Amino acid sequence: MIKNNDKNLPIAFFDSGVGGLTVFEKLKKLLPNENYIYYGDTKNMPYGEKTEAQLIEFADKIFKFFEQQNVKAVVMACNTTSAITYEKLKNNYNFRIYPIIQSVSKVIAQQNIKRIGVFATPATINSHAYSKEIRKYNNDTAIFEIACPEWVKIVEGNKLKQPESLLQIKEKIREMEIHNPEKIILGCTHYPYLLEILKQFVPEHKFIDPAIEFSKFIKDDLQKNNLLSDKITEGEEKFYVSSSPENFKVSGSLFYKLKDTPEKREV
Ligand code: DGL
């Protein structure tokens, strides 16, 4: 499929909810003059507990919506769909697609970390996507993968301050500590919202937030392909969600303060 190559078309983002904002706010800082569209599929959240067939259906619908919107690139700011749907869907649309796991694993592998932990959703963990991708570049790394099914709901439900959330997080940290990892990948874009809690148990420098390398990767790739906008004023942004627009604005505010309430749109 021929890809859109008009540099002034928007960049689209998608995730099951507010997780993708942890990537969005970073790319927006690097590329403030781009126009952005963001789709949060809050109605179908959590993605990490869905089947492959469901995830393909959701991603395909959202990609078709982005085709109607005419975008130059789509950022899969969601580890779960990157792990489960990217390989199957990557050639079907008229824009370039950036999947988070595949885009950051090379850089992580090159850091020569001997023992890496991965916290992610059940679907991402069951796919072993991080292990497979990192091992493509470095066979000398032990990788310990732990699923954290409750964590996305803590973030989306704005339950960061509830004692039960602290217990759920602590339990997973204990499970991970047994493996004594040097670094731990936050392998779901919702998890950086939990850093304030996580760092009560593990020093912050031990966590890898893939969004940092991911946003640099996207910028470099757009630049290489002569696809950066040539506008000199700040770009526009438009947010869509499939349910609960107000909740998205509140839960997401820790990472990005939306000017307007997102538009509710089922695709
Ligand atoms: N934030 C997404 C991820 O990175 C999806 C989380 C979910 O909805 O389960 O995996």
Question: How many angstroms is it from 233 CA to the middle of ligand 1?
Answer: 32
End-to-end alpha-carbon separation of the chain, Å? 22
182 and 245 share one domain: no
User: Would you say residue 184 has pLDDT above 90?
Assistant: yes
Q: Which domain holds residue 203?
A: 103-210
**CB contact at 8 A, 136 and 102:** no
What distance in angstroms lies between residue 17's CA and the mean position of ligand 1's atoms?
8
Please report whether residue 3 resides in a domain.
Answer: no
Catalytic residue, chosen from 21, 84, 188, 208, is: 188
pLDDT above 70 as % of the chain: 100
- 167 and 195 in a single domain? The answer is yes
* Active-site residue flag, 148: no
Does the pLDDT value for residue 191 go beyond 90? Answer: yes
Does the active-site annotation cover 188? yes
- The model's confidence at residue 103, banded by pLDDT at 50, 70 and 90, is very high
* pLDDT (0 to 100) of residue 238: 98
HSE-up of residue 84 (Cα within 13 Å, Cβ side): 25
Given 166, 192, 210, which residue is the final one in a domain? Answer: 210
- Whole-number Cα distances in Å, 203 to 161, 178, 207, 208: 20, 16, 8, 11
pLDDT of 46: 98
Task: Select from 195, 210, 225 the last residue of a domain.
Answer: 210
Residue percentage of the chain with pLDDT more than 90: 99
Domain shared by 198 and 129, yes or no: yes
Whether residue 37 is found in the same domain as residue 53: yes
CB 23, CB 189: distance < 8 Å: yes
- Same domain? 179 vs 231: no
Q: What is the pLDDT of residues 204-239, one digit of tens each?
A: 999 999 999 999 999 999 999 999 999 999 999 999
Choose the residue to mutate in 16, 39, 45 for probing ligand 1, maximizing ligand atoms within 8 Å of C-beta. 16
Ligand 1 center to residue 230 CA distance, Å? 32
Structure tokens at 143: 């990788």
Tell whether 2 is covered by a domain: no
Q: Does 163 lie in the same domain as 90?
A: no
* Distance from Cα 41 to the centre of ligand 1, integer Å: 10
Q: Cα of 111 to ligand 1 centre, how many Å? A: 25
| DSSP string across 196-229 | HHHTTTS-GGGEE-HHHHHHHHHHHHHHHTT-S-
Confidence of residue 197 (pLDDT cuts 50, 70, 90): very high
Q: Same structural domain for residues 125 and 86?
A: no
User: Which of 38, 58, 121 maximizes ligand 1 atoms within 8 Å of its Cβ, making it the mutation to test the pocket?
Assistant: 121
Residue 1: per-residue pLDDT: 83
Ligand 1 site residues (CB inside 6 A) read: 15-16, 19, 45-48, 78-80, 121, 124, 152, 188-190
Amino acid at 38: Y
Whole-structure pTM value: 0.97
Q: How far apart are CA 217 and CA 251, in angstroms?
A: 27
Same structural domain, 203 and 107: yes
| CATH number of domain containing 112 | 3.40.50.1860
pLDDT at residue number 117:
98
- One domain, residues 164 and 247: no
| Best mutation site among 190, 193, 208, 255 for ligand 1 pocket (most ligand atoms within 8 Å of CB) | 190
Q: Give the count of domains, the chain.
A: 2
Asked if 110 and 204 sit in the same domain, the reply is: yes
Q: What is the mean pLDDT of residues 50-74?
A: 98
The DSSP H or E segment spanning 30 is helix 21-30
Are 57 and 124 found together in one domain?
no
For strands 11-15 and 73-76, give the pairing.
parallel
Using DSSP's 3-state secondary structure scheme, residue 175 falls into helix
Q: Are residues 47 and 109 in the same domain?
A: no
